[in-house]
């Protein structure tokens, strides 16, 4: 059960002391090493000085807001690959979309339960380990019975070959490679047809619908995130 990994470090950028306190308490109880910052400016400085394994970033901060912090972290080579989970308020889907476009890895809506947050954190950190261990296993993507052979451009489900269009193939491999992460329609469009082709973001919905149909029961693994986009998740 216990794996000999180093203690993972999490930085919290949040201006509400009560929330920071609760987060810190729960994270430490789960054996993470925690540091905190109460403003965007302080958080940015802390992240640059000593990049954490994961950043919990409140979007609504006085002064420099979370989106700006995210933007600056992504511009800086020292912090470009940092894993970021945004903490957002209800009804701020537009900010979430911007945040994901800026490169945040996931988001969680306040008020959230501790168990929900821990699950998200573990999922993101697992992805970071997978990313580190990715080299050498680039030709095959697996998720349950779904296997994608990137060389042969072939998808099988339980050994049965699926006939997919090129767009469907690209969409599925993109989502599976970044399993668990939410993408906006525009991001998926860039991944599937490239930024220079003029089609509307709603085209993604059409591709997703077709792909779900071909995947049958497993189509439910392409999850609609309301007001935001899609994510791939084994369920
Ligand atoms: Ca706040």
H-run or E-run covering 220: none
Q: Ligand 1 centroid to 77 CA: how many Å?
A: 27
Q: How confident is the model at residue 232 (pLDDT cuts 50, 70, 90)?
A: very high
Domain boundary among the residues 103, 132, 161 is at 132
Domain boundary among the residues 95, 116, 132 is at 132
Residue 2 has pLDDT above 90, yes or no: no
Cis peptide before 98 (omega within 30 of 0): no
Looking at the structure of the chain, the number of domains it has is 2
CATH number of the domain that residue 31 is part of:
3.40.50.2300
Residue 134 has pLDDT above 80, yes or no: no
Cβ–Cβ contacts within 10 Å for residue 148, how many?
22
Q: Ligand 1 centroid to 34 CA: how many Å?
A: 18
Would 64 be classed as within a structural domain? yes
Residue 41, classed as helix, strand or coil, is helix
Q: Ligand 1 centroid to 35 CA: how many Å?
A: 17
Q: Is residue 97 a contact partner of residue 228, using CB atoms and an 8 Å limit?
A: yes
The mean per-residue pLDDT over the stretch 53-61 comes to 95
Residue 189's pLDDT is what?
Answer: 87
Q: Ligand 1 centroid to 92 CA: how many Å?
A: 13
Residue 159 has pLDDT above 60, yes or no: yes
Q: Ligand 1 centroid to 1 CA: how many Å?
A: 37
Can you list the alpha helix ranges (DSSP code H) found in the chain? 17-29, 40-49, 66-75, 93-102, 114-132, 166-177, 185-193, 202-215
Q: Ligand 1 centroid to 93 CA: how many Å?
A: 16
Domain boundary among the residues 83, 110, 132 is at 132
CA dihedral (33, 35, 36, 40) in degrees, to 10, reads -120
Rounded distance, CA 172 to CA 64, Å?
36
Q: Ligand 1 centroid to 62 CA: how many Å?
A: 7
Residue 196's pLDDT is what?
Answer: 63
The mean per-residue pLDDT over the stretch 76-81 comes to 86
pTM recorded for the entire structure: 0.68
Q: Is residue 199 a contact partner of residue 206, using CB atoms and an 8 Å limit?
A: no
Residue 127's pLDDT is what?
Answer: 77
Would 2 be classed as within a structural domain? no
Rounded distance, CA 49 to CA 70, Å?
16
Does residue 94 sit in the same domain as residue 182? no
Q: Ligand 1 centroid to 12 CA: how many Å?
A: 11
Residue 137 has pLDDT above 70, yes or no: no
Q: Ligand 1 centroid to 215 CA: how many Å?
A: 41
* Residue of 55, 171, 172 whose CA lies nearest to 124: 55
Domain that holds residue 222: 137-232
């Amino acid at each position: 059960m216990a794996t000999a990994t180093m203690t993972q470090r999490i930085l919290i950028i949040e201006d509400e002391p009560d929330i920071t306190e609760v987060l810190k308490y729960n994270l430490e109880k789960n054996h993470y090493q925690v540091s905190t910052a109460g403003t965007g400016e302080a958080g940015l400085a802390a992240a640059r000085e000593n990049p954490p394994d994961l950043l919990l970033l409140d979007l609504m901060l006085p002064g420099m807001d979370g989106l700006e912090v995210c933007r600056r972290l992504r511009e800086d080579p020292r912090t470009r690959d940092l894993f970021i989970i945004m903490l957002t308020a209800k009804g701020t889907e537009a900010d979430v979309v911007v945040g994901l476009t800026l490169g945040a890895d996931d988001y969680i809506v306040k008020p959230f339960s501790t168990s929900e947050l821990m699950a998200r954190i573990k999922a993101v950190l697992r992805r970071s380990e997978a990313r580190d261990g990715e080299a050498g296993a680039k030709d095959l993507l697996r998720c349950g019975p779904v296997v994608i052979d990137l060389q042969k451009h072939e998808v099988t489900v339980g050994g049965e070959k699926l006939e997919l269009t090129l767009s469907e193939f690209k969409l599925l491999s993109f989502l599976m490679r970044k399993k668990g992460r939410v993408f906006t329609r525009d991001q998926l469009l860039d991944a599937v047809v490239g930024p220079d082709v003029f089609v509307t973001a709603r085209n993604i919905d059409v591709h997703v619908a077709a792909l779900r149909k071909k995947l049958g029961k497993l189509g439910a693994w392409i999850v609609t995130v309301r007001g935001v986009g899609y994510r791939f998740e084994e369920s």
